[in-house]
Structure 1
């Protein structure tokens, strides 16, 4: 684990925020890093036009506060990023975030590789419950893609994202070192990823049975 990862775990109550700020710093510092970031998005990245600038903690009173926002050359919101380690989704995620985007916009969710399957099912369920057509656009390794109406939803692991950025930073050793520091934190979170309990699981017979077993142990 990197020094940054160690300090983030020891002294940061919200390591997702630290990772988001670190990613935002790297993207703001290098066009090459931004190019690698966009390449990691699969079809959504290939379809993006123009250069984006990234700002952290983009705020909207009704739809929440996405971790990272990509703004195009015309000042238009084009891409939103939600960074996850073990935290669950809020009431605004992902449907409220999708509503902020233009019809050709994309929402990227990043999480530990260990959570990908679970998170993808949760995203699919929330989108379809909101009455939005969820059309899977294929998966490749640690990348999942879907069309949600006219917008795109992308899920990938921190590992895949950071590797894509690394590939574009061969001539920028200082930033490569920064990416390595962030990767150290993400590797630590990946190994300790906790899958949050969903509302369906809380009301299932299995959860009730586990709860009953816990009461027996505590007696």
Structure 2
């Protein structure tokens, strides 16, 4: 029986691009959904996100029982989970863009502005950059060294180094991926990262943490 892969649609992600990438990477099917019942029954869950942390958090919480369904399926039911870009940032304790906004609190940390320490460094961080795996983290085996496409002005400052699965360098180290238990989040866009991104998605589809 084919797995149910739930791609969470809460109006704050480039859903079609992510869906197409997952299918290209080998998914049998992708269920685009905002239905908590579907999320609770899913074998794997992907949460995309683009835009500002606060607006994405508000959009996610605006769907009745969706956050609770995700929490129950992932943190209690141990379903593999992938957060992409702001979908990864929402795993944090809080974001501080335009005031403090609570995140999901699945991985302790804060989403804060990238500091411009060098005038030559552009913010937002946009374009291709190296991804350097940190092999101590849960799920770190999913991340391979390579180049991925980034687009973000805020970054995930994790409280626990062991939950940082990969780093990138943009005028200093920035977290490129976080992982814990069955949870993986990537700051870059796999759906825009060509062969590197498709390879990551293929490994996620086969991941049995």
Given the two structures, how large is their TM-score scaled by the length of structure 1? Answer: 0.38
The higher relative CO (CA closer than 8 Å, separation ≥ 6) is in: 1
Q: Which has the higher helix share?
A: 1
Q: Which has the higher strand share?
A: 2
